[in-house]
Chain A
Amino acid sequence: MSRIQEAFAGKKAFIPFITAGYPDLETTKAVLRAAQENGADLIEIGIPFSDPTAEGPVIQTANVRALEGGVTTDQVLELVEEVRRDGSVTVPMVFMTYANVIYSYHEGGDGEADGSDGSDRGRYGFCRRCAEVGIDGLILPDIPFEEKDQFEDACRQSGLDLISLIAPTSEDRIQMIARQAQGFIYIVSSLGVTGVRSDITTDIGAITAKIREVTAVPCAVGFGISTPDQAARMAEQSDGAIVGSAIIRIIDRYQREAAPYVGEYVRSMKDALRS
């Protein structure tokens, strides 16, 4: 069982998402620690990308601000290294980012520069670096099942889980994806991009039932969740809840002072999943 799967053992997992470097790396560090202290079971860290096509306006803006502040992929890796080394974050952590960030790591790319020669370039080099600093898996929203092989191999070599996504439109694809899933399955709750929604209408129970027929890999629901009630309802039909935009909104509001407020929010969400 991978570290990620252990995070789901015997409980409903709460998974907060944070865009690294927004508003700055120090704040991200403080927020990561606050999330761990207040009951986060797994943490998703977004490496900023210039054109995050799966994100709604809230996380888009966080990406842009982080990049404007000069945050680089290497700095995000160092940040993870630091909170692992001082022992302040022990729960599993996964990176959420876009294919090009990994593909082009240190101007890597196909063939000689993909890092398969042991260099720090491209997807192999990036995955090795992830394993070194203490990352447990990757979520790549622009890598569907059909394109995953070239990234999966790099992940496997470094012992990372490549997380699969299943959407409300997946239908006949659900079991094909679930059969090869690792770590956990990210169920996208709604059509569209990330962002807070007042109502989630997808039949999550029906999707998890289909997944359960073929795999025991845990399922967490994300996209649109912001309130403890929503989280509890989603977790009833799955193994956990993922929250991004609602947390970024707290950081929008409190900026460098955001850590305790995010901590308080994480606690309220985790409490809702316990009851």
Chain B
Amino acid sequence: MAIQADSRGRFGQFGGQYIPETLMNAIIELDEAYKRYKDDPQFNRELEVLFNEYANRPSRLYYAGKMTEDLGGAKIYFKREDLNFTGAHKINNVLGQALLARKMGKTRLIAETGAGQHGVATATAAAYFGMECVVFMGKTDTERQALNVYKMKLLGATVVPVTSGTATLKDAVSEAFREWTSRIEDTHYCLGSVMGPHPFPTIVRDFQAVISRESRAQILEMEGRLPDAVLACVGGGSNAIGSFYHYIDDSDVQLIGCEAAGRGIDTFETAATISTGRLGIFHGMKSLFCQNEYGQIAPVYSISAGLDYPGIGPEHAYLNDIGRAQYVPVTDEEAVQAFEYTSAVEGIIPAIESSHAIAHAMKIAPGMDRDRILVVTVSGRGDKDCAAIARYRGINIAE
């Protein structure tokens, strides 16, 4: 089915296990545990109950009729991951990993977070399973997402503000790896995206693949055919790979990942890895990274804290390499316009991350015939972004 990593965790030349020796046995243990449980009927039954009863799955595939009419081209469907419990796709992966960690006898979850969505989801799962939880978050991000910091604490998690490096998502990932190196026995690192050393890119993808498993069945039910294109935003790339996965073998379905271009790919204030990065080794994987001529990881920028990462998951780098998926840059301004447009026209406030995918749909839909179909993943809801977008428009509101 679709594409699988080879035995060394590689998608083509991308992926691998570039981690300190101290973590190797932990990673091997995780790989073995995942192989044991991924096809285990009992494990999958438990996960399905959690998905349906706790996380509010399946998520709706919603026909965005007003937008479709207004744009006057392809029919636009939203895969509503924003309606999941905790407000984003992150919960899919977290429930899977928390269940796996419990089966492995781990009692403590650690996680990195950018916008705070993965941190909140991990804190939620830890509360549900009665596990200890520590979330690493760049200090800059704790300031721009203060509400999520409060939520994590309310859920019983400890939030550690990370001040090293650029004090954003990449530094939170580094710090979570450092913490895992110092405490392995009882701790599972609940990585939030399809990145890091093997088997994380595969584990996270498999738990997120529920998005396309559902949307594929839903669109066949509603339209009697597959969509012409599937669009999703890409930072590390977990909602995108989940949105693409069950369409990879359907070569007529175009797969489009929307990267955060920040102020533009011709500026230094960008996080568009496929557009501006090159091959490197970082955070446990060989993939594409924004970096300077000496291989120093570049500071990246996006209005969206969730896409503010200098790398991309190895499977995306591979899909790009073989031409199976296309990756396009979307600027802050385009994303903010989509955020405002979707709110006004559909009555749906999407996350600023998801707004990058909607923005690209708005670009291509008008030029397509009316019988064409686009499925856009609304990976999260935008409540968390309202204060920041208001600020972007020069309005100061108290949260």
Name A residues whose Cβ lies closer than 8 Å to a Cβ of B: 49-51, 53-54, 56-57, 60, 64, 67, 72-73, 98-107, 109-110, 141-147, 165-173, 177, 188, 191-193
Contact = CB atoms under 8 A, between A and B. Distances in A.
Given A100-B289, A147-B16, A173-B25, A193 B181 contact: yes
Contacts of A104: 278-280, 291, 293-295
A46 to B, nearest CB: 14
A185 to B, nearest CB: 11
A101 B24 CA distance: 22
A177 B181 CA distance: 19
Given A50-B296, A192-B182, A170 B24 contact: yes
Given A104-B280, A177-B21, A51 B294 contact: no
B10 to A, nearest CB: 10
Contact of B20 (A51, A67, A144, A173): A144
Contacts of A98: 281
B8 interface: yes
A142 B280 CA distance: 13
A103 B291 CA distance: 12
Given A105-B294, A171-B25, A191-B183, A144 B17 contact: yes
A192 B21 contact: no
A51 B21 contact: no
A54 B20 contact: yes
Given A103-B280, A169-B184, A49 B26 contact: no
Given A51-B174, A100-B291, A142-B19, A191 B182 contact: yes
A51 B165 contact: yes
Interface string B6-44: 001000010011111111111000000000000000000
Contacts of B279: 103-104, 109-110
B396 interface: no
8 contacts: A51-B170, A53-B178, A64-B164, A100-B289, A145-B21, A171-B25, A173-B25, A191-B181
Given A49-B295, A169-B22, A170-B21, 15 more contacts: A51-B171, A51-B297, A67-B296, A98-B281, A100-B280, A103-B279, A104-B293, A109-B280, A110-B279, A142-B19, A167-B20, A167-B24, A168-B22, A188-B22, A192-B178
Nearest to A193: B178
Chain B interface size band reads: 35 or more
A207 B294 CA distance: 37
Interface in B286-302: 289, 291, 293-297
B78 interface: no
B136 interface: no
Contacts of A170: 21, 24-25
Interface string B98-124: 000000000000000000000000000
Nearest to B183: A191
Nearest to A146: B17
Contacts of B297: 50-51, 100
Contacts of B16: 147
Which of A54, A73, A104, A166 has the most C-beta atoms of chain B within 10 angstroms of its own C-beta? Answer: A104
Contact of B8 (A102, A106, A146, A193): A146
Lowest 3 CB-CB distances: which A-B pairs, in order? A104-B295, A192-B182, A167-B22
A142 B281 contact: yes
A68 to B, nearest CB: 11
A169 B29 CA distance: 12
Nearest to B297: A50
Contacts of B309: none
B231 to A, nearest CB: 30
